[in-house]
Chain A
Amino acid sequence: MATTALPSIPTADVGHGYTTTGLPHRKVAIWAFIGSECMLFASLISTYLIYKGRSVKGPFPHEPWTDPSTGHVFKPILNIPVTSCSTFVLLMSSLAMVLALAAVENRDKPKVTLGDRILGSSRLWLFMTALLGTTFLGFQAFEFTSFVHEGLSIRTNLFGSSFFTLTGFHGAHVTAGVIWLLTMLAIDFKRGLGPKDALNVDIMALYWHFVDVVWIAIFTLVYLIR
């Protein structure tokens, strides 16, 4: 590069794309936000693990429990097959999300085959992501209600409190993500998303994948490890 002094930038231009790193502000911010969320979920997960096995009464995640006062036998609470399905659903939503982003980025590329057209439809993939996210939430709602029926609520014991709070926080993140996706989908239907919207979709995607990644950790630490 030239060694002479480059001209200063008129401040009039700074609002228009100039950044020191060349990266958009919002993308830097979302990564900082994700870093911060790591600590949020770390606190929740630690609490769950610390309280695991400390409840003075059941029901428990992996072991059956007989209530000494009533003699009622509680099954192990966690339902691995169901949660495995919802985990799979959430993983697939991440796939849909990357495809949606790719579709938005490549909006202007010519689409020859039917395959191109399907893969290139941002509406389809945004919709799929939101749908899969909603399905995950449906699974969670099912899980929560069935736990309550089986005798575990957020007030029952330490396991209940920490379990519902941890998974509830995650569910709240998914819900926020679904709303975000639906908003984006609405914009797509209204005026179509193109490369200039790629940044917005990218940021949403980063958030969405992060929520997925958190679930990967939760699924192993909470459901599978006993």
Chain B
Amino acid sequence: MALDKTGIAKRIAQELQNGWYVNLGIGIPTLVANYVPDGLDVEFQSENGILGMGPFPFEGEEDADLINAGKQTITVKKGAVFFDSATSFAMIRGKHVQLTVLGAMEVSQNGDIANWKIPGKMVKGMGGAMDLVASAENIIVAMMHSNKAGESKILKECTLPLTGVGCVKKVVTELAVIEIKDGKFHLLERAPGVSVEEIVSKTEGDLVVPDFVPEMVI
């Protein structure tokens, strides 16, 4: 059965390593914070100027001065820090953040990502995404395998304007975990009960499929 958004977040949470600073994009990536494996010490950075984000506040304790990059009210953990936007992107550009998780409209087999603009439609802007993908050494894309029209988002080449080139290392969708390496997609895991055939049929790009593809353990 294909994963829901929570499942995708849970699977990505398994990628976390002790001691990592992590930047989570808006949407599914944000959910990853809820599933940090026990005993792992990771800190969440938000590009609007905070390190050490905690959960949402209790009702009535919202603070207008305390938001994340999605403009949601949040709280902080002990040891948190606030800083300005230049310092925040110094952390990102300077590779002090070990993992970036973000959503995408398209990913190509050489690791290009498109997630900010659809020609002819309203363009809201790239926010911090271009800085994040240009600098992060470890980028995981969290997204649905296909778009609403049923077309694959895992492509030989992106058709939409790019956010970054050759940067994505791994994609986690409702169907599969896919690694990007040597200009090709490599199927690592399939969602519980999802067949390799289904994944292959929904993947437009070149997908290397090993003899045995394990099921994800969520």
A, B: real partners:
no
Q: Which residues of A contact B (CB under 8 A)?
A: none
Q: Which residues of B contact A (CB under 8 A)?
A: none
